[in-house]
Amino acid sequence: MISLCLCFSVLVFATENNDKIKSIKINNIIGKKDSGQSQGSRDVCDESAMVAGFGDHNGNGSVDLCYTDGSGFYEFIWDGGCQLMMISYSGGDLDLSAYGPFTEGLFFYGFASGQVEDFVLTFDDGNVAVLEGAMAYCGSDCSDAGFAATCFDGGCADSEESCPVEGECGDDQVLDCDESGECWTAGWIGDGYCDGTAQEYGADLCCYDNDGGDCT
C-alpha cells in the first residue's frame, strides 16, 4: 500500500492520511517559503527537477534506501523556488496545493521494493517536469544503489569516512532517546507531532522535555 505521505496496490495518499503528512513537511527541505531565488530564476524549476529512489530522510548524514515504515520512497529536488502543485504517476494525480508549500523538495514514500515509476511534476508557474524510470531502492544493497559503503545505521555513503559516527549527530540534529545511536532533525521537537516511545515516525524524542511538549 502506497502512502503518499505526500508526501510518500491500492494507493493511499498521505494527503488523506495525516500521520504521513508530517514526514514530508518536516523533511522536504522545506519550510522555506523564501527559497532565496529571484522570480527571474523560476523557469529553472522544471529543468532542474530530479528524482532518486533513496535519500537522507532523517538528516543523519547517511543515505537511506527505505523509509522509516520500511517502504520504498523517492526524493524530489529542484531549483528556482517554484511551488510544486501536483505529482502525477501510476496512482493518479496528487494535488499538493493545500500542503507544504514545497518549494525545494520532498520525500514521497509507501512504495514497494524495486518499484519503478514515471512522474510528472506540475509547478505553480505552469511548467512541468517529466521524470521517467525512477526505481525505489528499498530492499537493495547499498552497492546496488551505487554507494561504496554501508554505514552502522544501515544507511549508505560514498565511503566509510563519509558515514556518520555512531553516537554523534550533526548540527541541528539530536540523538534518538532509545539509545540506538540514530540522529533526527531537531526541528521534530515541538513540531506538534508526538515522537514518542511507539516511534510512529521512527524516532523517540521523549527525553527532550516530552518531545518539546508534543507527547504527554
Range of the domain at 208: 167-216
Share of the chain above pLDDT 70, in %: 81
Identify whether residues 189 and 212 lie together within a single domain.
yes
* Cis before 215 (ω within 30): no
Identify whether residues 123 and 156 lie together within a single domain.
yes
Are the C-beta atoms of 7 and 109 separated by less than 8 Å? yes
Residue 209 clears pLDDT 80, i.e. is over it: yes
Q: How many domains does the chain have?
A: 2
Query: Model pTM?
Result: 0.71
| CA diameter of the chain | 47
Would you state the pLDDT for residue 30?
31
Identify whether residues 33 and 97 lie together within a single domain.
yes
Residue 19 clears pLDDT 70, i.e. is over it: no
Identify whether residues 104 and 197 lie together within a single domain.
no
Would you state the pLDDT for residue 140?
95
Identify whether residues 102 and 153 lie together within a single domain.
yes
Identify whether residues 33 and 51 lie together within a single domain.
yes
Identify whether residues 8 and 98 lie together within a single domain.
yes
Q: In what order do the strands lie in the sheet with 105-111?
A: 50-52, 72-77, 105-111
Query: Closest by alpha carbon to 134, among 87, 83, 68?
Result: 87
Identify whether residues 156 and 184 lie together within a single domain.
no
Mean pLDDT within 145-149: 95
Would you state the pLDDT for residue 184?
84
Q: How far apart (Å, rounded) are the C-alpha atoms in residues 57 and 71?
A: 12
Q: Average the pLDDT over each of 64-73, 165-174, 185-194 and give the range with the smallest value.
A: 165-174
Identify whether residues 34 and 122 lie together within a single domain.
yes
- All three cell numbers of 77, joined, read 529536488
Query: DSSP readout, 48-112?
Result: H-EEES-B-TT-SSSBBSS-TTS-EEEEEE-SS-PPEEEEEETTEEEE-TTS---SSEEEEEEEP
pLDDT tens, residue by residue, 93-111: 999 987 778 999 999 999 9
Identify whether residues 141 and 83 lie together within a single domain.
yes
Taking CA 147 as the corner, what is the angle to CA 141 and CA 152, rounded to the nearest 5 degrees? 70
Residue 27 clears pLDDT 70, i.e. is over it: no
Are the C-beta atoms of 37 and 81 separated by less than 8 Å? yes
Burial of 33 (0-12, 13-18, 19+ CB in 10 A): exposed
Identify whether residues 104 and 141 lie together within a single domain.
yes
Identify whether residues 136 and 179 lie together within a single domain.
no
